[in-house]
Chains A and B, each alone.
Chain A
Amino acid sequence: MIKLTVNDVEHSLDIEPDMPLLWALREETALRGTKFGCGLGLCGACTVHIDGAPVRSCSYPVSAAVGKKINTIESIGTADAPHAVQQAWIEHQVPQCGYCQSGMQMAAVALLNSNPQPTDEDIEATMTNLCRCGTYDRVRAAIKSAAKELV
């Protein structure tokens, strides 16, 4: 059995140690806010936090997450109590299809946690998630808004 702590809830799962965390989250714990895009860690739609750091869960084996704190988009905010990043995402009307945006926001939250006032260069260097709808201008603006809000 693999024991995972997801959003402060413990799960004991009968899964292989090499199962990517993404598929354990989505189909074994039914947390489907984390998305599948490429399976190779290239697009970032599956971004979650492991002990606060952004990780691409599609290519991260569950064995590596044992004993660590896993956080998904579901733990970041709710409709009634959105995170500052989520508020900024709504204010700037960032999503189009929205599919990449849970991963994009997880990357943004992690960035702001480690670097509360990121420059454009910081944003370009760390926000490597792919958005096929091309929302990058608004992502950049929303991160800056959220940074101001979080001060």
Chain B
Amino acid sequence: MGLTRRLFMITGATVGGGLLLGVGGLGAHLLTHNRLGVQRDGHDAADSTHINLWMRITADNKIIVVNPHTDMGQGSATGLMQIVADELDADWSQMQVEQAPADPAYSNGKVFEGFVREMMTPPDWASTLLENGFYRMGDLMKAQMTGGSSAVRFTGWDAMRNAAAATRHMLVSAAAKQLGVSEDSLTTEAGMVVHAETGKSLSYGELAAAAANIDSPDDIKLKSPEDYRFVGQPIERVDVPAKVIANADYGIDADVPGMQYAAVVTSGVFGAQVKSIDNIDEVKGSRGVSDVLIVPDGVAVVADNPWRAEKAVRTAKFTRESHENDNMSTESLITKQRDALAGDLVSGMNVGTPQDIKASLSAEYLVPYLAHASLEPMNATVWQEDNKLHIVAGVQNPLMAKARAAKEAGVDLDDVVFHARQMGGGFGRRVAFSMSGDEPLSWLVQAVRIAVDTGKPVKTIWSRETDTRSDVYRPMVMAQFEGALADNGKPALWRSRSYGKEMNVKAVAPPYGIDNVDVSFADQGHPVPVGFWRSVEHSQHGFFVESFIDELAVAAGVDPLEYRLSLVDDNTPAARVLAKVAEMSAWRSGADEQGRAMGVAMVHSFGSTVAQVVEASITPAGPRAHRVWCAVDCGVAVNPQAIEAQVQGSVNFALSAALYGKCDIANGGVVQSNFHDYRVVGMADAPRIQVEMVASDSAVGGVGEIGVPPLAPAFCNALSAIDGERRRMLPLV
């Protein structure tokens, strides 16, 4: 997209009143440079994080936050509004939010930067270079991602907070000029610039046009936390009323004139394509069916009602190509991983002299492939109108989804209009990357293929069965541990070997002070498509690490919570959440007279730290989690009630996996198909979950995933405290 055109697009989006404040301030640059150039100028000036694409102010004084992230239930839009409202000194009634277009202007360099900085600390000289690089990378990768618990901590806290503070300054400057007074004599409150001496005031809406032509300040003064009025408050989420009244607009609710419906079955073997449909006339004869076609990875039927399409596609008989995955099974994949761990390893971390210490404990852990099972199955609606390809879908990366659609249709990016919608769950399913190189947006690619090939407006909906069997799964992972205890009972050796290449070794290493640590990996890829599943690598490594440390505590004969506390420094997030969760749960060792026992786990992830205690029992029907206490250190808790919801939800999400979740592989495909054999926790087996945030001086952390990793180990540790059995394989049932 040309630069002038991009500017036009952005201002064009404000038709209907409003002005994109900040672009004016940077407008002189934008007209002659690209966005990267603007940011580079920004770095030269003084502040390296200043971009002002994030808000519009209307003439009637509404402040509209332009949100590059899409909602899958995390509710981060409200958090972003709280941050902007505070820095801008706005009134909550002024605040609105709108979805940013799928456009490179909103690619998220800040998010990439945040992820990498979490894993490593670059030298100062490289920082500016890195930041520019990440924006460039965001542009090139067409990444406008929602994932990695990044919206509030990176886009909000890093980018929007600065942009809002700069905007407030520009509004004050504009008011000073208009009133002929000094900037120092002006204050801001509730969306107004006020001159106390004369009692005059001007609304932001009145000032916005003039402010947009004022250079953004070099030195941005951010608010002190004690002056926050919105950040830290349990404000009601702005997306909730529409969801309650059932007016929320999900991808699956798309309605286009003349719309037809497609259903898809996939080939049944990962990677294998369909060669021919053998009973095409019979399928076409089914009521309402107009088209039967081969699509990437499967067969599609187009009909005038989704049920007719689904009914017909299930009758399709097809021949697929033979494939190296034809005989793949869970057993063959486990053997592959165990063999790999016995072979050449790549070192991830080596501290002290682990080679000199004899192991006295060893253990092998295994977790299975997991589907995301978002309640809204994958779907997309695609049609052609005025030489543009239109797409309605709920995705975690609208810009990259748009790019994939353009590629599949053979058209330019600018010729695709992407209408990003509310997602009925995401959990990493709707991202645009996978770890295995498989296409996570295969459903969208199919939907584009179907609409282009038939020339019709088509809503493609995957059945639950196709959704379960065509996912991009949380990987099955094996991990092997060795440990030894020092004379004082503390760990003298920690050795782990695990399958998979983990970029973030911090997720795999123990979060405890241990002198001799040896962490290594073996990676020979995954023939099953694997990708990002809520909390990503922490979902398995949190379980492994927090189970094995419990094994060491038991071997040492020390209370597992005390053991952990003895291995972390005082006044750290780890120490704070462990102490807090002990207090919340009235922690006790061992089983009580009812046969209930507690287990604990603590995991750092996404810039936050969570400790959980699970109170469990073993009933005739199987293991049961009764109560869960969660102590959270997420730095500034922007919206405590929304954070509580995310952590509670994460606990149930993780409990579903711990109790029931597995995708078995047989004959090259997934065995499970629907909620009867891919069970998830319901009201009857959901525990009572209490969440508290600790006072913290930590940086703002993510919250959407952090409740997942500690649950399985805390639960299994509790069960072990009851019967002494160590549970090293999931699921439990």
B55 to chain A, nearest CB (A): 25
Question: Within 8 Å CB of B683, what residues of A?
Answer: 123-124, 127-129, 136, 139-140
A36 engages B252 (CB within 8 Å): yes
Among B140-148, B166-174, B371-379, the one that faces the other chain is B371-379
* From A79, A132, A140, contact of B425 by CB (8 A): A132
Interface residue stretch chosen among B320-328, B568-576, B673-681: B673-681
Which residues on the A side are within 8 Å of B287 (C-beta)?
16
Residues 32-61 of chain A: 1 if any B CB is under 8 Å from the residue's CB, otherwise 0? Answer: 110111111011010000000000000000
> Are B676 and A43 in contact, with the CB atoms below 8 A?
no
- A37 x B239 contact (CB < 8 A): no
Given contacts A74-B246, A86-B245, contact A134 B376 (CB under 8 A): no
A141 to B649, CA, bound (A): 15
Q: Is the CB of B244 within 8 A of A100?
A: no
State the CA gap A136–B680 with chains docked (Å): 12
Question: Do B681 and A38 have beta carbons less than 8 Å apart?
Answer: no
Tell whether A130 pairs with B377 under 8 Å between CB atoms, given A35-B424, A137-B688: no
Cα distance A52–B689 in the bound complex, in angstroms: 32
Q: Does A133 contact B (CB under 8 A)?
A: yes
Check A134 against B72 for contact (C-beta < 8 Å).
Answer: no
Whole-angstrom distance between the Cβ of B248 and the nearest chain A Cβ: 5
Stretch at the interface among B354-362, B500-508, B650-658: B650-658
User: Is A40 a contact partner of B464 (Cβ separation < 8 A)?
Assistant: yes
Picked from A36, A97, A133, the residue with its CB within 8 Å of the CB of B377 is: A36
- CB contacts (< 8 Å) of B642 on chain A: these are 93
Answer whether A99 and B649 are a contact pair too, CB < 8 Å, given A130-B675, A137-B686. no
Q: How far is the CB of B105 from chain A (nearest CB, A)?
A: 27
Evaluate contact between B73 and A96: CB separation under 8 angstroms: yes
Q: Mark A69-102, 1 if CB is under 8 A from B, else 0.
A: 0000110011100100010011001111111111
| B236 touches A (CB below 8 Å) | yes
Contacts of A138 in B (CB 8 A): 645, 648
How far, in angstroms, from A10 to B110 measured CA to CA in the complex?
Answer: 54
- Counting residue pairs across A and B whose Cβ atoms lie within 8 Å, the total is 176
Closest to B304 in A: A27
In Å, the complex CA distance between A75 and B465 comes to: 31
Closest to B707 in A: A134
A60 to B237, CA, bound (A): 35
User: In the complex the two chains form, what is the Cα distance from A33 to B245 in whole Å?
Assistant: 8
Which of chain A's residues have a CB closer than 8 A to the CB of B675? 38, 40, 42-43, 130
CB distance from B419 to the nearest CB of A (A): 16
A39 touches B649 (CB 8 A): no
A135 interface hit (Cβ, 8 Å) = yes
| B244 A38 Cβ-Cβ under 8 A | no
Q: Does B75 belong to the interface (CB within 8 Å)?
A: yes
Q: How large is the interface on B (under 10, 10 to 19, 20 to 34, 35 or more residues)?
A: 35 or more
- Which residues from chain B contact A19 at a C-beta distance below 8 Å? 305, 307-308
* A125 adjacent to chain B (CB < 8 Å): yes
Report if B422 contacts A (CB, 8 A): yes
- In the bound assembly, the distance between CA atoms of A96 and B297 in angstroms comes to 32
Determine which residue in B422, B464, B465 has the highest number of CB atoms from chain A within 10 A of its CB, and name it.
B464
CA distance A23 to B261 in the complex (A): 11
Residues of B within 8 A of A78 (CB): 245
B residues in contact with A37, CB < 8 Å: 375-377, 464
CB distance from A147 to the nearest CB of B (A): 16
CB-CB < 8 A to A133: which residues of B? 73, 425, 649, 652-653
Assess whether A30 is interfacial by the CB under 8 Å rule. yes
CB contacts (< 8 Å) of B651 on chain A: these are: 134
Given contact pairs A133-B649, A140-B683, A96 touches B75 in the complex (Cβ within 8 A) = yes
Interface check B586, CB cutoff 8 A: no
Most B CB contacts (10 A, CB to CB) among A82, A93, A105 go to A93
Residues in B with CB closer than 8 Å to A134 are 648-653, 656, 681, 686
Would A137 and B425 count as touching, CB distance under 8 A? no
Chain A residues whose CB sits within 8 angstroms of the CB of B241 once the complex forms: 79, 90
Q: What 1/0 flags go to A15-34 for Cβ under 8 Å of B?
A: 11001100100111010110
Whether the Cβ atoms of A130 and B680 lie closer than 8 Å is yes
- Does A109 belong to the interface (CB within 8 Å)? no
Instruction: Please give me the residue from chain B that is nearest to A135 by CB atom.
Output: B649
Q: Return A61 CB to nearest CB of chain B, in Å.
A: 11
* 6 interchain pairs, CB-CB under 8 A: A27-B305, A32-B253, A93-B240, A95-B240, A98-B424, A132-B375
Identify the A interface with B (CB < 8 A): 15-16, 19-20, 23, 26-28, 30, 32-33, 35-40, 42-43, 45, 73-74, 77-79, 82, 86, 89-90, 93-102, 105, 123-125, 127-140
Q: Which 8 A-B pairs have the closest CB atoms?
A: A134-B652, A98-B243, A99-B424, A97-B73, A33-B246, A96-B73, A134-B649, A136-B686
* Beyond known contacts A90-B244, A95-B73, A128-B683: 15 more, CB 8 A cutoff: A16-B287, A35-B250, A38-B464, A43-B675, A45-B375, A90-B241, A93-B237, A95-B243, A95-B244, A96-B646, A130-B675, A134-B648, A136-B682, A137-B686, A137-B689
